[in-house]
A = this chain, B = another copy of it.
Amino acid sequence: MESDTGRFETYSDGVFAIAATLLVLSFMVTTGPDAPPLGHQLLHLWPSYLAYATSFLTIGIIWMNHHYCVETIARADRTLMFLNLLLLLTVAFLPFPTRLVADYLQKDGEQAAVYVYDATFVVMAVIYNVWWRYASDGRRLIGEAVPDSALRAINRAFAPGIPMYVIAFLVAIWSPLASVGINLAIAVFYLPSAALFDR
């Protein structure tokens, strides 16, 4: 029998997968008589490759963590579902700042592009935390069979999320490129270890 939370899990899975796959629309080359040779353009697209990999891995890992959290939740109320929609709204927005980083990194406007990109990650981390705190505080919506140790493990995994994304944001004041690099590092090194912290 489908649990009450299956109700928003399928929808969430769909939004995660579609948002990740739409990221490919960040890649653009120009044609026309004045366009540089394609090989040249493809090498100079490296900000696009960087932004694509960072966003794709981040969405993938948020999806994994989301799935893991939802497994501990026994029932969904309207507040949880609304918070979940806000989380999805932020995830589905990510292809836009990703395209900004792809288009503007190392060019005029890179700072504004990376601020929006980093701010999206900060907002995502905040909403994700609120969503999880709402579900887990006092075990409000948690299934009876879930041990407290599992919740504590998820809490520990969540704890550094917001500070790390805030640091990435602050680094953008000094170097937008380094800031995107930090976001990639978070996706590659931190999040995978956190995702399955409890196992």
Contacts and interface: CB of A to CB of B under 8 A. Distances in A.
B64 A81 contact: yes
Nearest to A109: B38
Given A39-B109, A100-B38, A192-B82, A13 B15 contact: no
Contact of A93 (B24, B85, B199): B24
B11 A112 contact: no
Contacts of A61: 85
Interface stretch (A50-58, A146-154, A163-171): A50-58
Interface in A56-78: 56-57, 60-61, 63-64, 67, 77-78
A92 B24 contact: yes
B108 A37 contact: yes
Describe A's contact surface by its main secondary structure: helix
Interface residues of A, number: 60
Interface of A: 7-8, 10-11, 13-25, 27, 29, 31, 37-39, 42, 52-53, 56-57, 60-61, 63-64, 67, 77-78, 81-82, 85, 88-89, 92-96, 100, 103-104, 108-109, 111-113, 115-116, 192-193, 195-196, 199
Given A22-B25, A27-B96, 8 more contacts: A11-B63, A17-B18, A21-B22, A24-B96, A38-B109, A39-B109, A78-B196, A81-B195
